Structure 1
Amino acid sequence: MHPLTTLDLGILAHVDAGKTSLTERLLYAAGVLDEIGSVDDGSTRTDSLALERQRGITIKAAVVSFAVAGATVNLIDTPGHPDFIAEVERVLGVLDGAVLVVSAVEGVQPQTRVLMRTLRRLRIPTLIFVNKIDRRGADPARTLRDIEQRLARDVVPMTATLRPGTRAADAVPYTAADPDFRARLAEVLAEHDDDLLAAYVTDESALPYSTLRAHLAAQTRQALAHPVFTGSAVTGAGVDTLLAGVRELLPATARPAGEPLSATVFKIERGPAGEKIAYARIAAGTVRVRDRLPVHRDGEPAGEGRVTAIGVFEDGTDVRREEAGAGRIARLWGLTGVRIGDVLGQAPDKPAAGQHFAPPTLETVVTAADPTRRGALHAALTQLAEQDPLIGLRRDELRQEIAVSLYGEVQKEVIQATLAADFGVAADFRKTTTLHIERPLGTGAALEIKEKAPNPFLATVGLRVEPAPVGSGVEFRRAVELGAMPYAFFAAVEETVRQALGQGLHGWQVTDCTVTMTHSGYNPRQSHAHAVFDKSMSSTAGDFRGLTPLVLMAALRRAGTAVYEPMHRFRLDLPADAVSAVLPALAGLRAVPRTQRALVSTYVVEGDVPAARVHDLELRLPTLTRGEGVLESAFDHYERVTGPVPERPRTDHNPLDRKEYLLRVQRLRN
């Protein structure tokens, strides 16, 4: 099998910037489509869900493939609405490059900044496409200044826009004959290349244009420079130039098929019969029907699965094949236990990078409108969480309720509609609440020894809890020899520690801490004369699972915890005469302005606001600013709660109440 040259290209944007329309136009320009679909009509190739067509927004990432100049481009259309950022999250790990779409009318928007920051941090080569130059109010020059000020300084305008704001708007590529373009190109590139800088300072005109283009391609592929194209996805203006830029400037790679298989699962969906379908990007090797594939999760073995069918993306469609080689994005059937983020085939040298975007900061309780459908509701939500791991489910057995983590109200509406349409379950959603976290204040330790009161379990567990750096999550360590007892018992302790930290002293998830196992002990397997296993004399993994939450919560109590609330960084653009009305309103919402400055025609206020009050600010802003205020906000950090500490009802057996906990656990064990 010959090596396949591929480019995995993501199309990203703030909602309504024209991302899906651009995808349609690129497919048309590449000869894949004979007719361009419309987002408004619900006829686009990549928005295939009924909900996407009804709402006119992308909810799920979609893949389509086409050939350009001998290379196969796997184009991935991603959601633009911030409520569906989890879909973008999963795609980033498989991208070779990206096109970030910005509207020439609205300019840089909140989600645009979040996406660009992430693309730059991950060093994903990115082209910027200024769309909608044909729309009334389009101002490409203002948008370019906005991009330079708020997205990246190292941008290179690649096209001149003619007649912006009219249906006759067009984008014309700059050429070597344009001295201003050459100067801008040399200036940006010299920032990252000392030799080029020396040549530029000595004699700018002596730099050959071919050298500048070669350096532009090299720096774009290193995510050091960001070429900016203009055009219109609706009329097609500038799209051929963008496509030429994709060919020239982004890194298509020849991927050999003879290597061991390595593929990453980045999306999971269910087929018409409920069967699981895994989307995998094949980085190396080949996968074939009937192959039995090892599965690795977080760098560790996680079983295996047998491939029963394969679909690959070719020329704008999904076709069945007996095999899929390196460079393909394949749909795989039969891998029933696989999850998003799993690596198929050869074990990775190191685990994949962690989460790129902020976690959900909202939560809502979901109940079945018909109480007899509780089981069906739980099964449906479990499937949805499988497709979107950031939908964290918390099941409260006592109250027979399920809580779901969310990014926003639109996501809640989509989940409700999906439950009704796809699973036939009518669900009620309570008012959305804010998700807080807990962090340890100090160090605390606890120890319970087997066969010593008041420990009823045949297990010895000692744990120490310590604060860890902000953002580090939870780290589990062992200060005892691994051979001191069976590995299954250590695994049971670690698994239970991570599960129990989902609810701290105040009911919130505990994070940014290190938990060290300081003591261990067990009773070896013992039998009676006829070799019948005696559970009453021998330690089991259940003993360690039962004891660990008691020890952990005792250690956590001694360490103490503080509760933190999610904070958004906000930017307000408003008329100068509205400042006197807006500032008191911000104070009433516990927002803290950090900077204030006057621009040419507006006044800008930036600062922090509790995530719980962002929606209130959005509702009040039109009245306070006569409809002229523009708010953008995004999660920034967690801040310690002052005043009364919010409590969340527990959904576990409550190891903070020893008597109640032991009664419940004993009932389960019997």
Structure 2
Amino acid sequence: MSRTLNLGILAHVDAGKTSLTERLLHTAGVIDALGSVDAGNTQTDSLALERQRGITIKSAVASFVVGDVVVNLIDTPGHPDFIAEVERVLGVLDGAVLVVSAVEGVQAQTRVLMRTLRRLEIPTVVFVNKMDRRGADGPRVARDVVEKLATGAPIYFGSAITGDGVRELLAGVTSLLPVTDVVDGPLSGTVFKVERGRAGEKVALVRLFSGTVRVRERVKIGDCEGKVTAIAVFEGGSAPRRATARAGQIAKLWGLDVRIGDTIGVARHDRVRHFAPPTLETVVESHDRVTLHAALKQLAEQDPLIDLRLDGDDIVVSLYGEVQKEVLEATLALEYGVAVTFRETRTVRVERLRGVGEAVRFLGESPYAAGIGFRVEPGPEEFRLEVELGSLPLAFFRATEDAVRETLRADRIHDCTVTMTHSGYCSPVSVAGDFRGLAPIVLREALRGAGTVTCEPMHRFRLEIPADVLTAVLAALGKAGGVPLTTTATVLEGHVPAARVHELQRRLPSLTRGEGVLESEFDHYA
């Protein structure tokens, strides 16, 4: 039986990831002719918008065979605005190829990716691409990889365009990176992507870590269940329908009501969140609000970090950057026929509790249809019970907890522990909807009693500069609200408000004669 290697292709923008994916498929004999990003005919950039813009927006899976190893190749976006798409892929990888341009060298995004791969202990090889280009400097980039990425990963050199070095890379990938054998045990898999079929049905892309899933089998999805109605497995350049899918494989599953990140079968807890949450948001407007909301709700299933929410009458979505906003506008127009406009992008701010608050409310007149009491206090984001578990039907507890979590998310309340202190109901009058409607009212009353403080996102930064511009850079950093924590003549590290990062990035070239390098990522709210 063949073994499987689930391989991610990661890189900074324009390093040549998608071209390398195309070359690997051609070298492995899966495609007869090479596609081109510029021509818009590559295998993995299948969205009309991707072909139009020449960038990867959604992760895509392609498959080929090398010896007895089936390689599932996952091409990911390179632009920082689509880092959430990369995040979802990391949890399903056996290994990765980090692509670096031989001309531009190691970029800030390259460092972010390498740090994450190292933290998650994902075995990685480096491919220095574009060695055929004018200005390519392999030895310099190799030194940068070792020094700036602090890695001893194997380094390969070549060109996705000419094919030089690609066979050597392919041999190295299948010999150096770990492949997956069949793993016995209970079914366990992770949904890392959700697509829509031709009839509009959900199709879940799942990496299976153990066990086997079969057509017509009922499988556990968190606390719920679903019936698998069809299966397709990536293998040998296509994804044919199959009766089963086994550990190590990536499969498409039909029939399940799932979201990205859901567990199929037994949960795994060895990999947690990899990248920071989006720190920008915008209000989306359209003359057809009903269609807009339905479309965004469907897109949020495919990208949960869109974080669709209602703020009064406003429809709000979260963003990583302005390019993501442009892509969202084009997607709504092309796929849903909805013309939209956006208000000015703003920084996401959150609320934290000042103290402790309590509230108790009853719905209706005695005998009450519902009674709820809450205590809120600073602490981990948990829902706790001080009432007996048998004091309410389980469905009423679940309705209450769901409403609490939704209210905290909608109101941007962070680091808040909610304890249910009172409960009451009247059988057979009470229904779950009574608790779902009352819980937000009681919770917000308790929050008002506790009081809140508004916090803004702070980025952790690393800034490399020429020694003779230190004074000018420190002045600009102070003006932007930045606080250096460690400073040498050429390297500054510290915190800066997320809202001021773009301004700092814009001023950096003139301050440093174009030699400054700024890396920043979300760290905390303050």
TM-score for the superposition, normalised by structure 2:
0.92
Deviations 1:44-103 (A, max 9, x none): 211111221222211110101111121111111111111111111111121111111222
**Percent identity of the aligned residues?**
63
- Residues 1:436 and 2:364 aligned together: no
C-alpha distance 497-457 of structure 1, shift in aligned 2 (>3 A): farther
Give the equivalent residue in structure 2 for 1:158: none
Distance 1:597 1:107 in 2: 24
- Residues 1:377 and 2:292 aligned together: yes
Distance 1:439 1:95 in 2: 36
Distance 2:501 2:349 in 1: 15
C-alpha distance 607-259 of structure 1, shift in aligned 2 (>3 A): closer
Give the equivalent residue in structure 2 for 1:311: 232
Deviation at 1:551, TM superposition (A): 2.6
Give the equivalent residue in structure 1 for 2:88: 90
Letter in 1 for 2:259: R
Return the index of the structure with the highest Cα Rg: 1
Distance 1:503 1:251 in 2: 42
Deviations 1:225-269 (A, max 9, x none): x3233332223232222222212211112215x765433221111
- Residues 1:516 and 2:419 aligned together: yes
Distance 1:568 1:136 in 2: 36
Query: Secondary structure of 1:553's match?
Result: helix
Deviation at 1:457, TM superposition (A): 5.5
C-alpha distance 462-331 of structure 1, shift in aligned 2 (>3 A): same
Deviation at 1:561, TM superposition (A): 2.3
Alignment partner of 2:262 out of 316, 330, 342? 342
Farther off after superposition, 127-136 or 412-421: 127-136
Q: Would you say the 8 A contact 2:233–2:250 is kept in 1?
A: yes
Alignment partner of 1:487 out of 394, 400, 403? 394
Query: Secondary structure of 1:318's match?
Result: coil
Alignment partner of 1:394 out of 275, 289, 309? 309
Deviation at 1:564, TM superposition (A): 1.6
Query: Secondary structure of 1:94's match?
Result: coil
Letter in 1 for 2:316: A
Q: Would you say the 8 A contact 2:6–2:94 is kept in 1?
A: yes
Give the equivalent residue in structure 1 for 2:376: 465
Deviations 1:264-310 (A, max 9, x none): 22111123443322212233444444x1432413xxx2231341x43
Deviation at 1:570, TM superposition (A): 2.5
Distance 1:269 1:503 in 2: 26
Distance 1:281 1:451 in 2: 49
Query: Secondary structure of 2:234's match?
Result: strand
Q: Would you say the 8 A contact 1:4–1:255 is kept in 2?
A: no
Query: Secondary structure of 1:446's match?
Result: strand
Query: Secondary structure of 1:267's match?
Result: strand
Query: Secondary structure of 1:460's match?
Result: strand
Deviations 1:552-604 (A, max 9, x none): 22332333322221112223344445444433332222122333434xxxx44
Deviation at 1:150, TM superposition (A): 3.1
Give the equivalent residue in structure 1 for 2:112: 114
Distance 1:493 1:352 in 2: 30
Deviation at 1:434, TM superposition (A): 0.6
Distance 2:211 2:376 in 1: 44
Distance 2:340 2:449 in 1: 41
Letter in 2 for 1:78: T
Give the equivalent residue in structure 1 for 2:247: 326
Query: Secondary structure of 1:594's match?
Result: strand
Query: Secondary structure of 2:436's match?
Result: helix
**Equivalent residue pairs, number:** 526
- Residues 1:367 and 2:285 aligned together: yes
Distance 1:349 1:395 in 2: 31
Moved over 6 A (4+): none
Alignment partner of 1:424 out of 337, 352, 374? 337
Quote the RMSD (CA, aligned, Å): 2.5
Query: Secondary structure of 1:545's match?
Result: helix
Unaligned runs of 5+ in 1: 156-225, 526-537, 640-670
Distance 1:260 1:278 in 2: 19
Letter in 1 for 2:378: P
C-alpha distance 317-623 of structure 1, shift in aligned 2 (>3 A): same
Q: Would you say the 8 A contact 2:279–2:347 is kept in 1?
A: yes
Letter in 2 for 1:544: F
TM-score for the superposition, normalised by structure 1:
0.73
- Residues 1:592 and 2:483 aligned together: yes
Deviations 1:201-244 (A, max 9, x none): xxxxxxxxxxxxxxxxxxxxxxxxx3233332223232222222
Unaligned runs of 5+ in 2: none
Distance 2:450 2:441 in 1: 14
Give the equivalent residue in structure 2 for 1:44: 42
